[in-house]
Structure 1
């Protein structure tokens, strides 16, 4: 192979890949949209034999944000025959403890308690937070539900109804609470989770890939203890413990099942800086957990870079005017995302000028965030600084 022909071969490969990945993505995104239409936001049955099994709700708490009280109030309205709530804290002096104690006092009819533990041998903050509660919970079936999730009264019924002997984990697709979207960060977060994130999440689920995030997951302790040498502690050194847990379940020949109810993130007004930092942190996590997918698929699946690659590829291979295909690709993505937004948001109340603004900004910065995350192993979360490794593990930076 000559020196001159190598660049030409690489460009040929890139352009054909650009056409293939665009066709594949749009096909999957349309299939995912149909799946959402017929499977998401469906109500679980009021009564079901599976509801006879008790469930332990593990609620990790750290600090207090403006919506924690609202989220705990929503949790108190859970409609399920038999459950317990375990509030997990690392530090007994955490201000969230007062919120948990208030919850217990206001709802004596709910079996709720506080579990405090800080196993310093565990690097992962969430696993460290919930480990003591995991050890003392009374039921085999347990629901890991983040503090920032505002649940529906029948969210637990939905998860339990979707569980089976063949299922290792039931997860909920993240969304955001409607709100008034006063800040730019809140608007971008709403558009991101209802558009780009939803497209990739449902597509990955349909392809059988480990896509679950740890915001709302239903699992069995007996399964974890039987298949993990140290139980939940096997995931203690991974930053993306949810991804590793889902991967472990698939490798154990169990299914990942998607629930019908969304897990609504409710963390108050989000600034642009907070939104950007979160997206940047998640992009780093994806790269160091799934480097091949993050490099070859994600940058070309949505955003400005995907439209640029497709239009260049069509121009290079077919000789057609790439400008038309650039705007056509962009317009098709926008139309598809509007359909996603309408399918996911049952009571859509976002002004259309905000939809256009939020979508355009996400379209422009999403590829940039992914590219900037590559090769940057340092991450900050909850006032701590960590260094990621390519095997998904990480260590605390001193």
Structure 2
């Protein structure tokens, strides 16, 4: 039995030795694998480091090559922005980076664009001297500007005209712009910003935005609060001389004498705003491209625009400012048209242009040099192309007006 126990103990001791040997073997093997993995990681790091160095050198070489083009390009962009900052604004508008670009305002801003800009530039050149003259006899002048794309460029040209004038002159402090045209206000700020500073623009003329409900489709404020705001503002400015600049979706020429332009509008609050400011103004200027003037009766206009409304699938009807409102009639003698005329016989609106001028201004007071002497204002504007189809697209950008019967209203046969 002692021999048997000795054999068992010996076998157990041998098994223990084998186990220890196996453990030592595994430890050594694991150490070799760890060392191998470490060498692999070192090699990878060396490779990555070499790769990064190569890429850094490559990027540096590319940057050096690009500098030859980037700096001259940056200088050209800078010069272009100084000479004509409007081009980048146009790009931003088309890229829909501005919040109103998907609105009706944004889409219509491209309609009659060159003609609207021409009207704004020429009319502001007449308006500023007129304001100077009025300031000699009136302590305060309120320039009330309607919403809409037609009047949008006017803010820019007014701002530039004021900057060009002597800002120490008394008339600048006497004039105040009152408006519900939100994009117009931003355009005024942009136009008066100094290109040499990044500070907020200091608008050289007082500008007040009326209260009201935001109408996002037209980017304007309207509604009952707007009417109340206008009346309160003017009551607070008792004795002010008021000038309204108004536009419309369409403008009808009144058949009664004296013949004058009457704005038409649709959309919540638009007509009420136009009616209110025309009622309280000493002078009313209705500003519109020639292709938006309808020389027809009120009944004919209602019939025509009802059909246009159906084609546009719109629930909103057109209504016009009431010049004979029993409570507050608009003085038709105070209402003047500001539009364009066609001097080139090749223009499709040449005959219509001559007809409108003959009806509204038979004495041709447009030749007068001062705004106060003009019964109506006609600015020369001719299309660049003589092609009839190209002209139709420019003169009538709304698809619903591309109709033979509609063209006949403008003496196009």
The TM-score, its normalising length taken from structure 2, stands at 0.31
The TM-score, its normalising length taken from structure 1, stands at 0.31
Q: Determine which structure has more spread, i.e. the larger CA radius of gyration.
A: 2
Higher relative contact order (CA 8 A, sep 6+): 1
